[in-house]
Structure 1
Amino acid sequence: MSGLRTFLRDNGLTLVFGLLFLGALVGQALTGHAVAIEEQVEHGFDPITLGQYLTSSEFAVDVAENWQSEYLQFYLYIVATIWLVQRGSPESKPPSEIGRESDEKQLLGAHTKRESPRWAKAGGWRTALFSRSLGLTMLALFLTSWAAQYIAGRSAYNAEQLAAFEDAVSWGEYLVSSDFWNRTLQNWQSEFLAIASMAILSVYLRQRGSPESKPVGAPHAVTEESG
């Protein structure tokens, strides 16, 4: 198998979903631009160009509010599954392994392997940081995208206020506004529902060949077994 084919096979999941992301983002940009043109013409303004729309706060807030909720979902799920379990779900650890687990289980200290990541073998603050790096990165991405939603959302909201000949709102006023929290919570609730649904449905339903599912013939009560 050639090097390129091997690379595509070994990274297929990331590459396919990366392309799907780009396709959906382009589709959102084009359809959002079409909606923006309709609104501009309806109010008697000149149609906005695609470049103007892509650099507008309206487009930025629509993108950021989706990103922040996704990264929040992953962060909470990564951290929550350390301490919370769902008996029978392949998404959960067995109840007997609740917690941060032993060094032996985590391949740390005397249990590291020759191929273990360098920071896993380093000890001290580097191993401590590396052992939390996935959750911390997801948290940072969530906070960054949420801040982007807040900044772009205020700008878009104030543009609407000024167009209606009303006063613009301050940073503090927008932080406690219904617009900001409506944008935020409408995404959060869908992510929380998706996590809960996946956790419980994977106990009783199967998808042959998927690591997100137990083997088809596995008992419902079996936990942390994928097929």
Structure 2
Amino acid sequence: MTSTQPRHSFFYRNGLSLLFITLFILTMGAQAVTGWAEHNEELQLLNAGPLTFTDYLRSGHFISATFENFESEFLQMSVYVLLTINLRQQGSAESKSLDEPEEVDREPTPGKDAPWPVNKGGWVLKLYENSLSLVFLLLFLVSWSLHLRGSWLDHNQENRLNSLPEDSIAQYLLKPTFWFETFQNWQSEFLSIACIVVFTIFLRQKGSPESKPVDAPDTETGK
């Protein structure tokens, strides 16, 4: 008798990503609609005309709010991926083992099932070996730039409505507004990383790959 692998449905095989993409689309739509309403209320207080929804999506208010959050999330991911290469936390499910070799550190071996960059070798392989952190860093830089541009546009729109001179983007970078928006998001991401690193030392969630086994000792490091 030959055993066959169960044939899972597309949704079973991709449920995690499909759920989070759906939640992203729904919450992004909700952010856009509520942000549009809020911004038009602000414009009304300044005796300015309301924006259409499509104009709002191109406004500094929407661009800044959106990419301010993207920026902090991609910063969190890139920092987390890079720092967990060499740093350890005894007892944390989010840390590599203190002494034992890890699968993620093994040298890639070419083969028919290996990704094509592994079989290609050379600089292509070297790039692929660091592709996860590089993509997160690139997304962080793009998001940071768009957050800056959106925040600057929104700042100058407010200045115009208050009959104040507009600032260049260099002048705006010297003002506290953009950096306040930036650091209030960054600190929350660093706090959330610290929480999951430390909490997984002592706390458990049965069935979650982000937790150690329920009966694992607190000193056990890694999953």
Question: TM-score, normalising length from structure 2?
Answer: 0.91
Q: What corresponds to 2:141 in structure 1?
A: 143
Gaps spanning 5+ residues in structure 2: where?
none
Kept in 2, the 8 Å contact 1:88–1:222? The answer is yes
Q: What corresponds to 1:60 in structure 2?
A: 63
Amino acid at match of 1:42: L
Amino acid at match of 2:42: E
Q: What corresponds to 2:203 in structure 1?
A: 205
Kept in 2, the 8 Å contact 1:92–1:223? The answer is yes
> Which stretches of structure 1, 4 residues or longer, exceed 6 Å deviation after superposition?
none
1:2/1:95 CA distance change after superposition, 3 Å = closer
Amino acid at match of 1:215: P
Alignment of 1:1-227 (within 5 A): 6-96=9-99, 105-108=105-108, 111-225=109-223
Q: Classify the secondary structure of the residue corresponding to 2:9.
A: helix
RMSD over aligned CA atoms reads 2.1
Question: TM-score, normalising length from structure 1?
Answer: 0.90
Q: Tell me the distance in 2 between the aligned counterparts of 1:30 and 1:135.
A: 33
Identity %: 39
Gaps spanning 5+ residues in structure 1: where?
none
Amino acid at match of 1:56: S
Q: Tell me the distance in 2 between the aligned counterparts of 1:41 and 1:9.
A: 48
Q: Tell me the distance in 2 between the aligned counterparts of 1:205 and 1:191.
A: 20
Aligned residues: 219
